[in-house]
Amino acid sequence: MSVNIDDDELKRYARQLRLPDMSIVAQTRLKKARVLIVGAGGLGNPVAISLAAAGTGNIGIVDDDTVEISNLHRQTAFTDNDIGRSKSQALCEYIRKVNPYVNATPYDEKLTILNARRLFSQYEIIIDACDNFETRYLINDTCVLLKKPNVSAAIFNHEGQLSNYVLNGGPCLRCLFPEPPPAELAPNCAEAGVLNTLSNTFGALQANEAIKLITASQKPLNGELVHFNLSNFEFNKLSFARDPHCKICNQNQSIRQKVSLYLSLHQIDQDDQSPAHVWTYQTLRNKFANDEPFTVVDIREENELGDVEFQADYHIPYSELSLSNRSFKKIKTPVVFCCLFGKNSLFAAMKMNTLDSQKYYSLKGGILNLTEKDRWDKI
Ligand SMILES: [Zn+2]
C-alpha cells in the first residue's frame, strides 16, 4: 500500500525532518509502521504520546484497566473526567487529538496467553510498557515465538532499565533473566512509589528506540541493557549475548516443542478464556439442539478416569494427543476436548489449533463442573 506525506504533515514534522538522520523516507516508514503498546500506564502514556506526535501511523494499545485518581500524577494523558474510563480507550482518544493522522486502536483486554499471539501478529514492533513480571515474560515469550522485536523498559523507585529484546536474532529477556523473581519480591507501581519524571523519561526512551527501529536512522540497543538512577545519575550499560541454553529462544527446539513450552509457562485464568478456544456446556447443548455436528473427546489420562464417569465419542489421553493418532484421523467435525478441570483441555485445544486447520475447543470448567445428570445425558 502506498503511503504519502502531505503538505500539512510536512509542516507538522518540519523540525524533526531537519535532523540529518531523518528524511521523507524515514517519515514515510513511521507513517506505515504498526506498533503495539502493552500497558497504558506510567510508561504507556509517554510512549504513546511521543510515537503519535512523531507520526507513527498505526498504534495499538492493550490494557484492561480503568483510570483511577492515583494514576493522574504520572499518566498525563488522563484527566479527572477520565476516572472510571477504560485506559486504552482514553489514551487512544488522547493521541488522536495529539496527531489526527494516527490510526489508534484500543484493546480493552488483559494480555493473556489466549490473545497475545492474535494481537502481536497484527503489529511489527511490541512495546513492553507493563508493570508486572507475569505480563513481561508473556510479552517476551510471545515475541520469541513470533520473532517480533520487544522494546522493553522497567522502572522502580528512582531507577529504570531499558533494552530491545528479540531484535534481529538477538537475545531475549530470558537470556539475561531466565525466570521472573518470586511474586513476594516483585512489587509493582501499585505498591512501590514512583515519580512521573522517571516514568516519562523511560517511556520517552522506549519511543526513541522504537523510532530508531522503524526509521533505521540510528543504531538501536541490541544485546545491551541500559540502567540508570535519576536520583544520583549512576549509569550502567551491560552487554549480554544470546544464551544457547535459553529456555525459550534456544535454536534446538522444533516449533511444536516451543509452542508446548510456551503454553506450559503461562497461567490461564478460567475467567480469561476466550470463546475462540472455549465452549460452555450450554454451547454444546445448543449445537446439539441445532443439529450442528461436533465430536466430544475425553482427554483424561487413564489414572483420572476412575474419578468421574462421562459420556464422550472418543477417549484419547492428553499424553497421546497428536495429529497422527488413529482415532483423530477419523474425526471430520469440530472437536471439543474435555478433562476434569478444563485446563488440560484448554492447552490441548490451543495446541491442536496451532497444528491443524480443524477447529478445537475446550469444555469450560471441565467435567467436574457438570452436574451428574449432565455427565450422563448423551449430549
Ligand atoms: Zn533467550
Per-residue pLDDT tens over the stretch 81-137: 999 999 999 999 999 999 999 999 999 999 988 889 889 999 999 999 999 999 999
Residues with CB under 5 A from ligand 1 (ion): 172, 174-175, 246, 249
Q: Tell me how far apart the alpha carbons of residues 338 and 316 are, in angstroms, rounded to a whole number.
A: 10
Catalytic site residue 189? yes
**Annotated catalytic residue within 143, 249, 338, 339:** 339
Calculate how far, in angstroms, residue 172's C-alpha sits from the geometric centre of ligand 1.
4
- Compute how many other C-beta atoms are within 10 angstroms of the C-beta atom of residue 176: 17
Calculate how far, in angstroms, residue 112's C-alpha sits from the geometric centre of ligand 1.
20
- Compute how many other C-beta atoms are within 10 angstroms of the C-beta atom of residue 152: 28
Please, which residues have CB within 8 angstroms of residue 169's CB and are 6 or more apart in sequence?
242
DSSP 10-24: HHHTHHHHTSTT--H
Output the pLDDT for position 2.
74
Output the pLDDT for position 369.
79
- Compute how many other C-beta atoms are within 10 angstroms of the C-beta atom of residue 71: 21
Calculate how far, in angstroms, residue 220's C-alpha sits from the geometric centre of ligand 1.
18
Calculate how far, in angstroms, residue 40's C-alpha sits from the geometric centre of ligand 1.
26
What's at 137, amino acid-wise? Y
Calculate how far, in angstroms, residue 190's C-alpha sits from the geometric centre of ligand 1.
29
Task: Tell me how long the chain is.
Answer: 379
Grid coordinates representing 24 are 521523507
pLDDT digit string, tens, across residues 22-49: 999 999 999 999 999 999 999 999 999 9
**Packed helices 196-215 and 44-54: angle between N→C axes, nearest 10 degrees:** 40
Q: Which helix (H) or strand (E) holds 128?
A: strand 125-128
- Edge-first strand order for the sheet with 360-363 is 278-279, 360-363, 335-338, 295-298, 314-315
What's at 191, amino acid-wise? E
Q: What structural domains and CATH numbers belong to the chain?
A: 7-239 (3.40.50.720), 268-376 (3.40.250.10)
Percent of the chain at pLDDT > 90 equals 59
Calculate how far, in angstroms, residue 158's C-alpha sits from the geometric centre of ligand 1.
28
DSSP class of residue 224 equals E
Q: Tell me how far apart the alpha carbons of residues 170 and 166 are, in angstroms, rounded to a whole number.
A: 5
Give the N- to C-terminal CA distance of the chain in Å, as an integer: 49
Coil, strand or helix at 194: strand
What's at 81, amino acid-wise? N
Confidence at 191, pLDDT banded by 50, 70, 90? low
What is the average pLDDT score of the chain? 89
Closest CA to 87 of 103, 97, 72: 72
Calculate how far, in angstroms, residue 107's C-alpha sits from the geometric centre of ligand 1.
28
Q: Tell me how far apart the alpha carbons of residues 23 and 19 are, in angstroms, rounded to a whole number.
A: 8
Output the pLDDT for position 339.
87
Calculate how far, in angstroms, residue 157's C-alpha sits from the geometric centre of ligand 1.
27
Calculate how far, in angstroms, residue 236's C-alpha sits from the geometric centre of ligand 1.
21
Name the more confident of 48 and 307.
48
Q: Tell me how far apart the alpha carbons of residues 259 and 242 are, in angstroms, rounded to a whole number.
A: 20
Calculate how far, in angstroms, residue 149's C-alpha sits from the geometric centre of ligand 1.
13
Q: Is the pLDDT of residue 255 over 80?
A: no
Which residue carries 522517571 as its cell? 198
Q: Tell me how far apart the alpha carbons of residues 239 and 295 are, in angstroms, rounded to a whole number.
A: 53
**Annotated catalytic residue within 189, 246, 249, 338:** 189
Catalytic site residue 249? no
